[in-house]
Amino acid sequence: MNEKINKLLIIDDSPKNIQVVANFLQNEGYDLSFATDGKEAMQVLSKETFDLILLDVVMPLIDGFQVCKEISSNANYKDIPILFLTVKTDPESIVKGFESGGVDYITKPFNPYELLARIKTHLRLKSIQKQFKENNAKLIEEVSLRQKAEKQLKNMNVELEYKVKERTKQIYRLAGIIDQLYESVIITNKDGVIEYVNKAFESDSGFKSDEVIGDIPRFLEKGIYSKEFYEEIWSTIRSGKTWSGSFSNTKKDGTPYDEEIMVVPIINHGNEPDGYFSLKRDVSSQKKLEKQLINAQKMEAIGTLAGGIAHDFNNILTAIIGFSEIVKYELEQKNFDCPRINEVLSASNRAKDLVNQILVLSRRNEIEKKPVRVDLVVKEALKLIRSSVPASIEIIQNIDETLGTVNADPSQIHQVVMNLCTNAYQAADREKGRIIIGLSQIKLNGSETPESGLGRGLYLKLTVEDNGKGIDRSIADKIFEPYFTTKRPGEGTGLGLAVVNGIIADIKGSVTVKSDAGNTVFTVLMPYNPQKHETDKSENDIRIPKGNEKVVFLDDEANVADIGKIILESLGYSVKKMTDPVEALNYIKAEKSKIDIVVADYTMPSMTGIDLAEKALDIDPKIRFVISSGIKRFSNEELKSFKNIYGFLKKPFTKKELGTLIRKALDDNK
Ligand SMILES: Nc1ncnc2c1ncn2[C@@H]1O[C@H](COP(=O)(O)OP(=O)(O)OP(=O)(O)O)[C@@H](O)[C@H]1O
Ligand SMILES: [Mg+2]
């Protein structure tokens, strides 16, 4: 296949010289052009493109070597192979021919076939050269493209590395923040399998991360809630929405806790979540606070009610107790035995305790704290318990002699022991009942009972233990609530433990309970002062002191005034009973120096007992006063500021309380 017709330029001053060759070449299919000298050759070259030049050496004006030089130095023609065709055979000319840029040198005479072979060879060489050049150019272009691509790749790599570094930094920063969160964080894959938990999770739940990674969080698993509960969570989060709600969980050590959970789907690619981010918060203490608030509100309501009725109720009780004591005294004087009067007295005393419980709870009853020898109070209370509890119930006492004191109201500590022991007795096994009461001194270093919130220091530890059926877990957190009771109506008011809690909280102690079937232990811790305390002898003296002084007994309740008069007269005093403070003031003015002491009610219509005492100070400063009240309480400290007030009488009062107080007020050297 002859692809292309090659064009040859023959430069010769006499083309006829090579006519034979020209014919031969034309016959071989070459397209020939002619030029007779260098100048013409340049003109022809500028018009047409040639594949090869045959050049004569000997020509007029400029010779072939010159023409060759000119052509091959021209950038447009330098690739055209030039073959000399000449009669000059001397070696110098041959060398010159090659030096001037020729590719071959053929001397005449020559064989046309040899010429043809040479022409063909040079044409082939040229075409190879051309191809080579083209390939080379392509290669260079490819190399440069590749270099460019490599550079781009390198740049992209650098950029990518930078981005990865930045992203890693961000991830570390985020991981740091997540780890520092107070809320627990769980990250799961799309099937709910845990892949990450933060530090708060570990401390809240008690589980280390490697113990839970690979598991499914409890709120996503089947378990304590209904099937619908878990289905609702899954259908919400699978659809890409956030789910939030509450869940009851248990820690590794079995402690139950309430948590609020938010589950956020992580959507990175497409619309389907590829994992879930859960944020959890332990809300047990918040719930506890809510409960406490409700309790506080309940107490507020009880307080208002109690405040309203306690005054009148205590006056009524003063009359009942007072008259019963008088009847008892009169019967005893006549040697008449009537045990039922004791029933009346003990029922009235229970009613008095109940009012007191309500007042303690509502904190309307301002208590007077003083150093109390708790061991003595406990022993005293246990005497009462022993006498009221059937002999079939064993009472074991492990009471250490604790010579130091607790700063409290002794009657309240008495009440704590009574309430706890009463519960223990009511719960104890009917057949082989046993109550163990313990009292000892302990030292806390601040970490033993974190739930009680007590600081380090010395405490008295009172324990009341029974072998009853125990407290069911479901009600364990309710037993301290006021009015919570499992007893039948009429058998319990549900105030006992609420009162214990109130009293002990007030002295900055704690009450805790541990209960299993067959063993329940209530533990009371009270801040303890180990310094030895001398007890007031008169407190233990059972005799009621007497006197013959002149007393005015003033109470707007006629019944109470009557009782005061009768009791004091039975103790030898001469008593004027009065119900109106204005009248009493006039009486004091009239009788002045004859009066030794006035017992005056605090709450009266036109004037308080204290107002009266102040007015009396101007009339006769020697007249002493005792203020009584069924609701308000005055501490000795408060009374010190009044020159002529020597004591406070709490209503309802017993004969012993009134007698002892009057004597003390009369004998006191203030
Ligand atoms: N030692 C105990 N063993 C078993 N359950 C107890 C014990 N102590 C208290 N409880 C439970 O706690 C509840 C509340 O006790 P709390 O003393 O406050 O009231 P109450 O005994 O029912 O009535 P109240 O003391 O006013 O007569 C009780 O009803 C009982 O269910
Ligand atoms: Mg009780």
Pair 75, 206 in one domain: no
Backbone phi and psi for residue 282, each to the nearest 5 degrees, phi listed first: -75, 115
Is 306 inside a domain boundary? no
Residues with CB under 6 A from ligand 1: 419, 423-424, 427, 466, 468, 471, 479, 484-487, 492-498, 520
The answer on pLDDT for 450 being more than 80 is no
Protein residue with its CA nearest to atom 1 in ligand 1: 424
Protein residue with its CA nearest to atom 6 in ligand 1: 471
Q: Is there a contact between 32 and 5 (Cβ–Cβ < 8 Å)?
A: no
Cα(136) to ligand 2 centroid in Å equals 108
Number of domains in the chain: 4
What is the residue-wise DSSP string for 464-531? EEE-SS---GGGTTTTTSTT---SPTTT--S-HHHHHHHHHHHTT-EEEEEEETTEEEEEEEEE-B-S
Q: Which atom of ligand 1 is nearest to the CA of 499?
A: 18
Pair 275, 226 in one domain: yes
Length of the chain: 670
**CATH number, domain with residue 224:** 3.30.450.20
Q: Which ligand is nearest to the CA of 486?
A: 1
Tell me the pLDDT of the chain averaged across its residues. 87
Q: Which of 418, 420, 423 to mutate to test the pocket of ligand 1 (most atoms within 8 A of CB)?
A: 423
Nearest to 427 by CA among 389, 466, 396: 466
Overall average pLDDT of the 358-377 stretch: 75
Measured CA to CA, the distance from residue 68 to residue 63 in angstroms comes to 9
**CATH number, domain with residue 618:** 3.40.50.2300
Cα(484) to ligand 1 centroid in Å equals 8
Alpha-helical regions (H) of 556-620: 558-570, 581-591, 609-619
pLDDT of residue 540: 46
Pair 398, 444 in one domain: yes
Q: Is there a contact between 548 and 571 (Cβ–Cβ < 8 Å)?
A: no
Protein residue with its CA nearest to atom 19 in ligand 1: 494
Please give the angle made by the CA atoms of 616, 618 and 621, to the nearest 5 degrees.
Answer: 70
Cα(501) to ligand 1 centroid in Å equals 13
- 393-to-383, 491, 514, 520 alpha-carbon distances in Å: 14, 19, 21, 16
Of 320-329, 471-480, 549-558, the range with the highest mean pLDDT is 549-558
pLDDT digits (tens, 9 = 90+) for 134-168: 999 999 999 999 999 999 999 999 999 999 888 88
Protein residue with its CA nearest to atom 7 in ligand 1: 423
Cα(479) to ligand 1 centroid in Å equals 7
Q: Provide the domain limits for residue 651.
A: 540-667
What's 445's DSSP letter?
-
Pair 262, 400 in one domain: no
Pick the range with the lowest mean pLDDT from 2-6, 78-82, 133-137: 2-6
Cα(378) to ligand 2 centroid in Å equals 17
Tokens 């020209």, located at residue: 22
Is 145 inside a domain boundary? no
The answer on pLDDT for 537 being more than 70 is no
Pair 380, 439 in one domain: yes
Q: Which atom of ligand 1 is nearest to the CA of 482?
A: 18
Pair 65, 190 in one domain: no
Measured CA to CA, the distance from residue 616 to residue 624 in angstroms comes to 9
Pair 515, 578 in one domain: no
Is 100 inside a domain boundary? yes
* Among 498, 527, 556, residue at a domain's last position: 527
Strands of the sheet containing 574-578, edge to edge, are 574-578, 550-554, 597-601, 624-629, 645-650
Measured CA to CA, the distance from residue 623 to residue 618 in angstroms comes to 10
Is 149 inside a domain boundary? no
Measured CA to CA, the distance from residue 504 to residue 521 in angstroms comes to 16
Q: Which atom of ligand 1 is nearest to the CA of 495?
A: 26
Cα(550) to ligand 1 centroid in Å equals 49
Query: Which is more confidently placed, 284 or 626?
Result: 626
pLDDT digits (tens, 9 = 90+) for 231-273: 999 999 999 999 999 888 888 888 888 889 999 999 877 778 9
Overall average pLDDT of the 82-99 stretch: 92
Protein residue with its CA nearest to atom 8 in ligand 1: 423
Q: Which amino acid is at 130?
A: K
pLDDT of residue 271: 78
Q: Is there a contact between 263 and 252 (Cβ–Cβ < 8 Å)?
A: no
Q: Which ligand is nearest to the CA of 482?
A: 1
Is 512 inside a domain boundary? yes
Cα(60) to ligand 2 centroid in Å equals 147
pLDDT of residue 455: 83
The answer on pLDDT for 206 being more than 50 is yes
Q: Which ligand is nearest to the CA of 422?
A: 2
Q: Which residues contact 119 (CB under 8 A, 6 or more apart)?
A: 8, 25, 30, 52, 54, 83
Is the bond leading into 450 cis (omega within 30 degrees of zero)? Answer: no
pLDDT of residue 147: 93
Overall average pLDDT of the 576-589 stretch: 95
Q: Residue 268 region, left (φ>0) first, then alpha (ψ -120 to 50), else beta?
A: alpha
pLDDT of residue 538: 46
Pick the range with the lowest mean pLDDT from 13-22, 89-98, 120-129: 13-22
Model confidence, pTM:
0.48
Pair 78, 51 in one domain: yes
Q: Which atom of ligand 1 is nearest to the CA of 466?
A: 1
Protein residue with its CA nearest to atom 28 in ligand 1: 485
Pair 501, 611 in one domain: no
Rg (C-alpha) for the chain, rounded Å, is 60
pLDDT of residue 307: 65
pLDDT of residue 451: 56
The answer on pLDDT for 1 being more than 50 is no
Cα(407) to ligand 2 centroid in Å equals 24
Pick the range with the lowest mean pLDDT from 356-360, 361-365, 520-524, 615-619: 361-365
Pair 127, 201 in one domain: no
* Among 282, 312, 344, residue at a domain's last position: 282
Q: Which ligand is nearest to the CA of 485?
A: 1
Is 340 inside a domain boundary? no
Q: Is there a contact between 598 and 584 (Cβ–Cβ < 8 Å)?
A: yes
Tell me the three state secondary structure of residue 641: coil
Helices (H) and strands (E) in the chain, counts: 19, 22
What's 18's DSSP letter?
G
Pair 555, 613 in one domain: yes
Q: Which ligand is nearest to the CA of 464?
A: 1
Overall average pLDDT of the 473-488 stretch: 88
The answer on pLDDT for 118 being more than 60 is yes
Measured CA to CA, the distance from residue 562 to residue 557 in angstroms comes to 9
Pair 554, 520 in one domain: no
What percentage of the chain exceeds 90 in pLDDT?
49
Cα(656) to ligand 2 centroid in Å equals 28
Residue 21, token pair as written in the block: 């060759």
pLDDT digits (tens, 9 = 90+) for 614-630: 999 999 999 999 999 88
Burial class of residue 168 in the structure, from the number of CB atoms within 10 Å of its CB (0-12 exposed, 13-18 middle, 19+ buried): exposed
